[in-house]
């Protein structure tokens, strides 16, 4: 990480200086559609709801096991799926390659407030993040990171600082 004394704005690190984490989430139970669907259905009953809680708890807390730990990370350079307690990148895509990001929902999405985030590059799905909690805000985090850090991608009514004469 960059030293705070070398940053023009505290907490803002250009990709040329260092890679900085923007946002990170752990997948929800919705990442396991079979268990999520069963849990959602069983939760609707009075008698079988505790069984549903046990099933879903195993999946929910199972993501913290060293060999199963998985999380989705957005940095000022890339979006990646990281595995293990150390967070070793398993799959990744550079921000510069991202064309668009879309959210896919299913029957479990409203119940778990989660969905699948698909990252599009060159007209096809380059990376899918399953069971992302609050997927719409994560989608915006990816697009905002891309627009902020990839030259020529920013869109908006603002004027770039380089255009202002001192």
pLDDT in tens, the chain (166 residues): 455 555 555 567 777 788 889 999 999 999 999 999 999 999 999 899 999 999 999 888 887 788 888 999 999 999 999 998 888 999 999 999 999 999 999 999 999 999 999 999 999 999 999 999 999 999 999 999 999 888 877 666 655 555 555 5
User: Within a domain: residue 163?
Assistant: no
**Alpha helices for the chain (secondary structure H):** 33-43, 49-62, 109-112, 135-149
**Count of structural domains within the chain:** 1
129: domain range?
Answer: 14-27+66-151
Q: What predicted TM-score, i.e. pTM, was given to this entire model?
A: 0.82
CA dihedral 118, 22, 72, 79 (to 10 degrees): 50
At residue 136, φ and ψ (nearest 5 deg) are -65, -40
Instruction: Please report whether residue 8 resides in a domain.
Output: no
**60 in a structural domain:** no
Which residues on adjacent β-strands are paired with residue 21?
75
């Amino acid at each position: 990480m960059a030293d705070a004394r070398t940053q023009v704005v505290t907490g803002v690190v250009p990709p040329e200086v260092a890679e900085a984490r923007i946002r990170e989430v752990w997948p929800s139970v919705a990442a396991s559609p079979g268990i999520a669907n069963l849990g959602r259905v069983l939760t609707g009953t009075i008698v079988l709801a505790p069984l549903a809680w046990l099933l879903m708890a195993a999946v929910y807390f199972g993501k913290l096991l060293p060999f199963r730990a998985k999380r989705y990370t957005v940095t000022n350079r890339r979006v990646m799926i990281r595995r293990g307690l150390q967070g070793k990148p398993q799959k990744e895509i550079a921000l510069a390659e991202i064309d668009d990001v879309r959210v896919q929902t299913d029957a479990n999405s409203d119940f778990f407030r989660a969905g699948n985030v698909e990252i599009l590059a060159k007209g096809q799905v380059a990376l899918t993040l399953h069971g992302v909690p609050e997927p719409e805000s994560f989608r915006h985090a990816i697009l905002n990171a891309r627009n902020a850090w990839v030259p020529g991608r920013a869109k908006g009514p603002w004027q770039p600082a380089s255009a202002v004469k001192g």
